[in-house]
Amino acid sequence: MISDNIQEAFNKQINAEIYSSYLYLSMSAYFLSVNLNGFANWMRCQAQEELVHAMKFYNFINDRGGNVILSVIEGPPTKWNSPIQAFQDAYTHEQKVTGLINTLVDLTTEQKDHASATFLQWFVNEQVEEEASADGVVQQLKLAGDQGSGLFMIDRELASRTFVMPIVL
């Protein structure tokens, strides 16, 4: 059985993961509005991935005999001044999520909830990849700039990203 305080913290993380999905979907809409369809595709894939993360927490709470309590999702920003600003915001957001996951790990360690601590290790590793992925695009954009052929080359590269729904959440 999951403790009340870990259940509450995991429910808050469901909210954070769904907010992340909203944020990336909003970024996708921004990129579509400026005709960067590859960037939009990358963000759509990221939005779908964040929903999978939310469902992992949802299923874990239920598997441990807890209660999922969904709360209001805050609306994300809808405009950015440039592609690099959007990706810098994505990178900063992933750093924030890493902090949230680390706080959950600390809580489960304090509570000696080994099942929850083990569950969170997947997210610890995932956040390394999430930060590196967003920062990688930021670094490419810094090299290429927000205008011209470099931007379109990056757009073409980001168009190749595909989302594959995991068989098991």
Q: What is the pLDDT of residue 122?
A: 97
Would the pLDDT of 148 be above 90? no
* pLDDT tier at 169, thresholds 50, 70, 90: low
On average, the pLDDT of the chain sits at 96
Residue pointed to by tokens 């993380």:
13
How far apart are alpha carbons 65 and 67 in whole angstroms? 7
The DSSP line for 50-104 is HHHHHHHHHHHHHHTT------PPPPPP---SSHHHHHHHHHHHHHHHHHHHHHH
**Structural domains in the chain, sorted by start:** 4-158 (1.20.1260.10)
Q: Exposure of 59 by Cβ count < 10 A (0-12 exposed, 13-18 middle, 19+ buried)?
A: middle
DSSP string, 120-164: HHHHHHHHHHHHHHHHHHHHHHHHH-SSHHHHHHHHHHHTT----
Tens digit of each residue's pLDDT (9 = 90 or more) over 77-102: 999 999 999 999 999 999 999 999 99
pTM: 0.95
